Amino acid sequence: MKSKSFSILPILYCLHILSPKGLFVWAESLICEGISLMAMLRFAARFYPERCAIIDEDGTVTYQQLYSRARQLAQRLYTDYQLRPGMSVALTGRNSLTFAILLHALSRLGTRITLLSTDLGAEQIMATLEKHHYQFFVYDSDLKQIPRKLPCPATTTDTLRHLIIYRSSKMQEVKLPRIGRGRDIIIHSGGSGGEFKTVARRPSLMSFLPPLFALLRDIRIYKYESVLVSLPFYHGFGLSTLIISLLMGKKICLQKRFDALKTLEIIQQEKVEVMPIVPAMLSRFWQTEGAKEKMRSLQCLISGGDRLPKSLINTTHKEIGEILFNLYGTSEAGFFMLATPMELAAFDETTLGKPIQGVTCKVQDTDNQGTGTLWVRSRWAMNGKRNQWQNTGDLVYKNDEGYYFHRGRADRMIVCGGENVHPEHIEQVLLSHPMIVAAHAFPTPHPCFGNVIHADIECTQNATLTEPALLDWLRPHLSRAEMPHAITFKTIELLSTGKQKSY
C-alpha cells in the first residue's frame, strides 16, 4: 500500500541537509557547537534566518533570534550559574519558548539533561533530585508541587526568560568551552499509573535521521509549514517533534496545557497544518462544538503514544478527510512502525502498520490464534539498547501481508474465572460506543472468580446512557469473563501528556 518508488534524496537536497552548501554548514556548525542541539539550530538559522521559528503565548521569534538567544543563554548559564560540561541538570516545566531555548543552551554546554514530568508530586521530585545528585534544577514558578527547600542550586524559567530578554544585550561575548558532543537527554516514560522510568538518548545523526526519513517518505511532512506541539517536551513524541520541525525550518506553535477548545482555537488562528496527538486528545476534539470548522487547516494528524480506536479513525476520516497517521513505538526503542490513512481505512481494526526501514521485528511465544509478544531491534534505540532485541511488552498479531495489530499489554493480562482477559480489548469495545469518549477497565478481586472487571467511562455531553443499557449493548461484543461487573460514569482525568490517567 506504500509507494516503493518515492526517493527522499531530492527532498533532503531541498531541505539543505544533503546539498553542497548544507554539508558545508553542517560541518561548520558541528565544529563550532559540537554534536548538540545547538549545532542543528545554527544550521537552521543559516538557511531560514527570518522565518518564524517558535510562537507561544509570550511572543514570536525568528530562527536567527532563536539561535542568538540560545547562545546568549548558554553564556549566562556558563558565567552566572557556573554550569560546565558533564554536569547533571534537571528540568520540569511546560512547553514554552524559554524552555525550548534552555534545552539548546544546556545541550551546547555539554550538560546531562533530565526532563522531569510535570505530573510528579513534591515527594517524587525531591526523591529524584536527591537520588541522582543533580547539580542544577530549573522549574516553572507556577508549578505548585515544587518543594520549598531543594537539595541543589535552582532557578525558574521566569528568571531565565528575564535574562534572555532584558540582560543578554548588556553582557560581553563569552567564549564557551569546546565540546565533542552533547551529553544524554533523559526523558520520563510511562507514569499513567504513577510509576515513571527514565530513557536516555544522546544527540546523534543516527538518532533522528531514520525516523526523519520515514516522516519524509510516508507522511511527506516536508510539504507543510506549521506545526502545533501540545504534547510536553518530556514526552518523547513532543520532544522529537520539536527537534525535527526546527531542522526543517517550520513554524512551531507551542501550547503549555492541552485544552480542547483552546487548542482548536490555536489551530484555526495560526492555520496549523500538522499536529502530533494522542488518541484521548483527538477524542475530546470531536466532543467540542465547531471542531470541524476549526480543524479546516489541518493536513496531517499524527497519532501516537496510545492505542488508536477504530471509531476515532472513522470519525476523523469522515469529518476532515484521510489525514490521520498512526505511529507506534516505545520510549526505549523509539518510533518504529507507521500506518498511513489508507492502511488505517483498509482494515476493520486499527493496524500499527509495518516496521520502518532500519528496524527488525518479531513475534514470540504466540498462542493458537497467532498472538504473541512483540520484540524489536532498532538502530536508534536508547543508550545501551541500540541494535539489541527488546521486549516491548505488547501483545500483537501479524497478518499474512505483514501488518501488525495490537492485542494488549502482556503485563495487564489478568485471569477472570480461569480465562485470560485483556482490559485493553474491553476498553476498545467500550470506545466504539457512540456515547463514550474515554474508558478504563481494571480488575477487582472477587471471592468466586479470583478477579472480575470493573470499568470507568466518560460519556459525551448530554448522553443518556445507563448501566443496564450499556451492559445490554456489550453482551454481543464481549465474552462472559470480559463483561464488567460494575460501571462507573465519571470524568476521566488526562495527564499532561494527553493520555488518560490510570488508577
Domains of the chain: 9-201 (3.40.50.12780), 205-411 (3.40.50.12780), 413-489 (3.30.300.30)
DSSP string for residues in 89-142: EEEE--S-HHHHHHHHHHHHTT-EEEE--TT--HHHHHHHHHHHT-SEEEE-TT
The CA distance from 376 to 362, in Å, is: 7
Q: Is 103 exposed, middle or buried (0-12, 13-18, 19+ CB in 10 A)?
A: buried
Q: How confident is the model at residue 191 (pLDDT cuts 50, 70, 90)?
A: very low
The CA distance from 313 to 389, in Å, is: 31
Asked whether the predicted pLDDT for residue 5 surpasses 60, the reply is no
pLDDT in tens, 294-353: 999 999 999 988 889 998 999 999 999 999 999 998 877 778 899 999 999 999 999 999
pLDDT in tens, 43-76: 999 999 999 999 998 889 999 999 999 999 999 9
The amino acid that residue 117 corresponds to is S
- Please give the residue that has the higher pLDDT: either 164 or 315: 315
The amino acid that residue 501 corresponds to is K
Mean pLDDT of the chain: 88
- Please give the residue that has the higher pLDDT: either 357 or 103: 103
DSSP string for residues in 156-201: EHHHHHHIIIIIGGGSPP-PPPP-SB---EEEEEE-TTS-EEEEEE
Segment 157-168 shows an average pLDDT of 82
Query: What dihedral do alpha carbons 231, 309, 311, 322 form, nearest 10°?
Result: 60
pLDDT in tens, 199-234: 666 655 555 666 777 778 888 888 999 999 999 998
Which candidate, 108, 106, 158, 161, places its Cα nearest to that of 135? 106
- Please give the residue that has the higher pLDDT: either 50 or 12: 50
pLDDT in tens, 355-390: 988 788 999 988 888 889 999 988 766 666 677 898
The CA distance from 274 to 340, in Å, is: 15
60 Cβ contact partners less than 8 Å away, ≥ 6 residues apart: 52, 54
DSSP string for residues in 301-323: EEE-SS---HHHHHHHHHHH-S-
362 Cβ contact partners less than 8 Å away, ≥ 6 residues apart: 374, 375, 389
pLDDT in tens, 399-423: 999 999 998 888 888 888 778 888 8
Enter the pTM of the model: 0.85
Give per-residue burial for 374-404: e unless 16+ CB within 10 Å, then b.
bbbbbbbbbeebbeeebebebbbbbeeeebb
196 Cβ contact partners less than 8 Å away, ≥ 6 residues apart: 117, 120, 124, 188, 189, 190
Cβ atoms of 73 and 160 closer than 8 Å: yes
Task: Give pLDDT, residue 197.
Answer: 61
Of all residues in the chain, what percent carry a pLDDT higher than 70?
90
Q: How confident is the model at residue 115 (pLDDT cuts 50, 70, 90)?
A: very high
Task: Give pLDDT, residue 140.
Answer: 95
Task: Give pLDDT, residue 120.
Answer: 87
Asked whether the predicted pLDDT for residue 235 surpasses 90, the reply is no
440: which strand partners?
456
Task: Give pLDDT, residue 248.
Answer: 93
The CA distance from 388 to 374, in Å, is: 14
pLDDT in tens, 255-300: 999 999 999 999 999 999 999 999 989 999 998 999 999 999 999 9
Task: Give pLDDT, residue 332.
Answer: 75
498 Cβ contact partners less than 8 Å away, ≥ 6 residues apart: 230, 231, 258, 277, 278, 280, 281, 305
Q: How confident is the model at residue 183 (pLDDT cuts 50, 70, 90)?
A: confident
Asked whether the predicted pLDDT for residue 194 surpasses 50, the reply is no
Of all residues in the chain, what percent carry a pLDDT higher than 90?
61
Task: Give pLDDT, residue 196.
Answer: 58
Task: Give pLDDT, residue 359.
Answer: 85
Task: Give pLDDT, residue 2.
Answer: 47
The CA distance from 435 to 129, in Å, is: 44
Cell of 353: 502498520
Task: Give pLDDT, residue 378.
Answer: 81
The CA distance from 141 to 131, in Å, is: 23
Task: Give pLDDT, residue 358.
Answer: 78
Cβ atoms of 114 and 232 closer than 8 Å: no
The amino acid that residue 249 corresponds to is G
Cell of 267: 489551530
